[in-house]
Structure 1
Amino acid sequence: MLLTDRWQARRPLAEVVRAAVAGGVRWVVLREKDLSRVARAALAAELRAILADAGGRLIVAGPDPLDGDAVHLPAAGPYPPPAAGLVGRSCHDGTELARLTTEDYVTVSPVYPTRTKPGYGPPLHPAGLRELIATSPVPVLALGGIETPAQIRECVAAGAAGVAVLGALMRADDPTEIAAKLTEAAGLTARSGHGRPQTPTATTEDNE
């Protein structure tokens, strides 16, 4: 999963997304909440077209899906989640995971110290991530400070169904190359972007 931040992107946002999709990214969360709804909806339509060509999916940082069918919600609400084809939520601890109702997946963060949000944390590290995954009723995507294939392998070994990345791709000179390395490390290069994440059954040894 790629989370957008056009202020950190080295190219126009659509170009970064297109390059990341070429490298294997299949889910993109559109943030950019400072834009007007009209501008954000137009951007959503542009990114949906890019993802559709690759069998991927645009998820909007909600609750407004911007004429789509997938939203990603903050930990603070709304509760219950709005009806949508795919609903995710940001979580950071066991209390927030315990509030989940009909969500399809969550991101859990921060796993590592992050340059995007300096001082945000404290970081969970893989051990803390593993503990929260064990309590989550839905598949977990690891988020926060993930920049290397080794970190992704640690997250998958901890039980993450996938990973969410922002800075490593937004700031990349070559998002296609970085995305290819990261998706390969996660074992996601052959997966479609339309389905819901599945809780992995692989052992640590399977991912080393």
Structure 2
Amino acid sequence: MNRLYLVTDSAIARQAGHTLPFVVEEACRAGVRWVQLREKDLSTRAFLDLGFALKRITQTYNATLIINDRVDIALAIDADGVHVGQDDMPHEIVRSLVGPDKIIGLSINNLAELEAARGADLDYLGIATVFPTGTKQDTSSLLGLDGLRAICQQTTLPTFAIGGINATNIQSVRQAGVSGAAVVSAICGQPSPYEATRELIHLTNS
């Protein structure tokens, strides 16, 4: 199975003329099997409604639905798991809330954070930030391919790289040793999310 991970962004989707459910359905139809609902600015009710809508889509395609940060939303819609960053709820508490069977992913930005998470009850790591992106102005912490490779070599957990990944660099990212690649605008911001997804999957499998 391909390891392309769609991370959502409603604003980017809107700028491209799409609703988020449309983007997610087109991506799943094209072969995406990992979707993370990440919304920083929605009200709880709007987040919940969107979560239910995406769950219906991901279930149809047998795709995994992960909720970013919001454990309450993940529990309310019975999502497959939760992804947390270094400043979100500690992953140990997330595990105590969601139970042993849900997926938990943790963002790792450097080797020190990787070391701190060693031995933790986690299912995968999100390795960030690889390349410059429009949403990250501080480039001092960019990993680049060498930094990405160094982190991947120090863990046995599945790893998803994120940050500025698109059709021009996704092959080099996969060659750095990650299990998969997470993208935002490379799908959400494209005229045809379906065609963009197909191209990314083809590149990761070739």
2:85 aligned with 1:74: yes
Name the structure with the higher helix share.
2
Partner of 1:91: 108
Give the gaps of 5 or more residues in structure 2.
none
Deviation at 1:172, TM superposition (A): 0.4
**Is the Cα–Cα contact under 8 Å of residues 37 and 51 in structure 2 kept in the other structure?**
yes
- Provide the secondary structure at the position in 2 that maps to 1:80: helix
Letter of the 2:92 partner, please give it: P
Q: Is the 8 A contact 2:158 2:179 kept in 1?
A: yes
Determine if the alignment matches structure 1 residue 25 to structure 2 residue 32.
Answer: yes
How many residue pairs get matched?
A: 187
> How far did residue 44 of structure 1 move?
0.7
- Asked whether the equivalents of residues 28 and 58 of structure 2 are also in contact (C-alpha less than 8 Å), the reply is yes
In structure 1, stretches of 5+ residues that fail to align are: 188-206
8 A contact 1:113–1:123 mirrored in 2: yes
Contact persistence 2:30–2:198 (CA under 8 A)? yes
Q: Which secondary structure does the structure 2 equivalent of 1:58 belong to?
A: strand
Partners of 1:175 and 1:169 in 2: how far apart? 5
How many angstroms apart in 2 are the aligned matches of 1:116 and 1:88?
21
Equivalent residue in structure 2 for 1:127, among 131, 139, 146: 146
Instruction: Give the drift of 1:63.
Output: 4.3
* TM-score, length of structure 2 as denominator length: 0.84
Q: What CA RMSD, in Å, does the superposition of the two structures yield over aligned residues?
A: 1.7
> Percent identity, aligned pairs only?
32
Cα distance between partner residues in 2 of 1:81 and 1:142: 24
Per the alignment, in what secondary structure is the counterpart of residue 88 of structure 1?
A: strand
Task: Normalising by structure 1, report the TM-score.
Answer: 0.83
Counterparts of 1:170-181 in structure 2 under 5 Å?
170-181=188-199
8 Å CA contact 2:160–2:178 kept in 1: the answer is: yes
8 Å contact from structure 1 (residues 153, 186) kept in 2? yes
